[in-house]
Amino acid sequence: MFNKKLKRVAALLSGTLLLGTLLAGCGGEEAKSDEIRIGANFEMTGNVANYGNASLEGLKLALKEANEAGGVNGKTLKLIQVDNKSEASESVNAATKLISEDMVKAIIGPAVTANVIAESQVATDNKVPVLAPDATSPAVTVGEDGKVKDFIFRSCFIDPQQGDVMAKFAADNLKAKTAVVYVDNSSDYSKSLGQVFKEKFTAAGGQVVMEEAFLQKDQDFKATLTKIKTANADVIFVPAYYEEVGKIVKQARELGVTSPILGTDGWDDVKVADIAGAEALNNTFFSTHYSDKDESVKGFIDAYQKEYGHAPNVFAALGYDAGRLIVDALKRAGTDDPEKIRDALATTKDLQVGTGTITMDKNHNPIKQAVILENKGGDRVMVAKIMPEAE
């Protein structure tokens, strides 16, 4: 009886060990000399999987284009993907695997700020550059001590830039005196944008009369929107991601909230219009990276449409930009030495990417244009284009 049990346990243990050695074996294989390994650490499952996967699609397209154009430095790029399950701890795990098992030369991702911050120490310790496509918090590239993190870069806006743009737009263009700030409390992105908006809007002579919050994956916003309606503010600022934004706009209009609703690049997805409906979406404005009517981004949009059969959203576009950025850095570095790649990333200048041109500033943040789009009768109209000042 006991022997039988023991045999079973022994068989199981040896089985798992065998599996382990097998897996460890195939993970640790040396990179072929004619390829450059790039790691992709993204939210492929878990509650922000839709953002991570979209960025990954964009990134893959950029690398595919580079490979089709003959690769980089005579080598082909190989993307190694690891899922971080939308969790900070798993992000460290994924980055460690990419660096120590797969020997990647650079890591792209993750999408969400917290997950990038989590992996940044591992990457710094191992001197592998990280390029975050979508993480907008200033804390991503600048540490708690105020020092720039050597190996961490991003290819998107930072929150202060966008919050500033929208606060000025509300005060100057819409002549708003009062505003409600309605943020996603589960997201760094949303909270810090709300904070910046409040500061800048107050500085511009406006007044934030109510601050409310919701949580990611909330379905019903009517209770809070009823409260917001009583504030009767000139504008409502909702810096959040498209899934919730669509529902918020729809439900706000159903409750008879007519004031303009403002947002940020998290709005940039056709899903917002699908969920809210064109009618409800009238009189809403958001800042983003490009207007899809812009000639210079047409190439990217068409290529993406052809590859995946649907239009890119903002995460896809930023993932694509990150891909272009890393390819450029590899070319300029002329080698696949991670430290050289780092140096090349830091000196990126006037690089034409999918959504505009990028110059890396001293804080490892790109200097790039912002546009403000208005949703009008089912279409998006560009109402402003802002070139930021270099710091």
Partner 1 sequence: MDFSEQFLQQLINGLSLGSIYALIALGYTMIYGIIKLINFAHGDVYMVGAYIGFFAITQGGLGIFPALVVSMLVTGILGIVIERLAYKPLRHAPRISLLITAIGVSFFLEYTSMYFVSPTPRTFPTLMGDVSIHVGDLIINGQQLLILGITMVLMVILTYIVHRTKIGKAMRAASFDTETAQLMGVDADRVISITFCIGSALAAVAGVLVGVYYNSIDPLMGIMPGLKAFVAAVLGGIGILPGAVVGGLILGVIEALVAGFISSTFRDAAAFAILILVLLFRPAGIFGKNTSEKV
Partner 2 sequence: MFLALGLIVFALLQGLMAAKIIGSFWQLNITIIGINIILAASLNLINGYTGQFSLGHAGFMAVGAYVSVVLTTNFQVPFVPALLVGGVMAGLLGFLIGLPTLRLKGDYLAIATLGLGEIIRIVIMNIPYVGGAAGFKGIPHHTTFAWVFGFMLLTLFFIKNFVNSTHGRACIAIRENEIAAEAMGINTTKYKVMAFTIGAGFAGIAGGLFAHMFYIISPASFTFMQSFNYLIMVVLGGLGSLTGAIAGAFFVTFISAALASVPEFRMIIFALLLILLMFYRPQGLFGYVEITHLGPWREFFLRKERAKR
Interface contacts to partner 2, rule CB under 8 A: 2-3, 5-6, 9, 12, 16, 19-20, 23-24, 27-28, 44-45, 47, 81-83, 85-89, 92-94, 96-97, 99-101, 113-114, 117-118, 120-121, 139, 143-144, 185-188, 191, 215
Enumerate residues 6+ apart whose C-beta is below 8 A from 291. 297, 371, 373, 380, 382
Q: Which does 227 bind (CB under 5 to 8 A by kind): partner 1, partner 2, none?
A: partner 1
Which of 36, 38, 40, 54 is close enough to bind partner 1 by CB under 8 A? Answer: 54
Shortest distance (Å) from residue 225 CB to partner 1: 9
Calpha distance 79→91 (Å, rounded)? 17
Left (φ > 0), alpha (ψ -120 to 50) or beta: where does 71 sit? left
Q: Of 56 and 341, which CB lies nearer to partner 1 in the complex structure?
A: 56
HSE toward the beta carbon, residue 192, CA cutoff 13 A: 17
Backbone angles phi, psi at 348, to 5 degrees: -60, 130
Could you give the CA distance from residue 151 to residue 343 in angstroms, rounded to a whole number? 9
- Least Å from the CB of residue 123 to partner 1: 26
Does residue number 256 form part of the binding site for partner 1 (CB under 8 A)? yes
CA–CA–CA angle 311, 317, 318 (5° rounding): 155
Closest separation in Å from C-beta 52 to partner 1: 9
- Which of positions 157-196 make contact with partner 1 (CB under 8 A)? 185
Only one of the segments 96-104, 143-151, 249-257, 296-304 lies at the binding site for partner 1 (rule: CB under 8 A); that segment is 249-257
Q: Is the N-terminal amide bond of 338 cis, ω within 30° of 0?
A: no
C-alpha distance from residue 185 to each of 50, 190, 288, 344 (Å): 19, 7, 21, 36
Q: Which is nearer to partner 1, 66 or 236 (CB)?
A: 236
Minimum CB distance to partner 2 smaller for 156 or for 370: 156
Q: For partner 1, what does the binding mask look like between residues 194 and 213, x meaning CB under 8 A?
A: ------------------xx
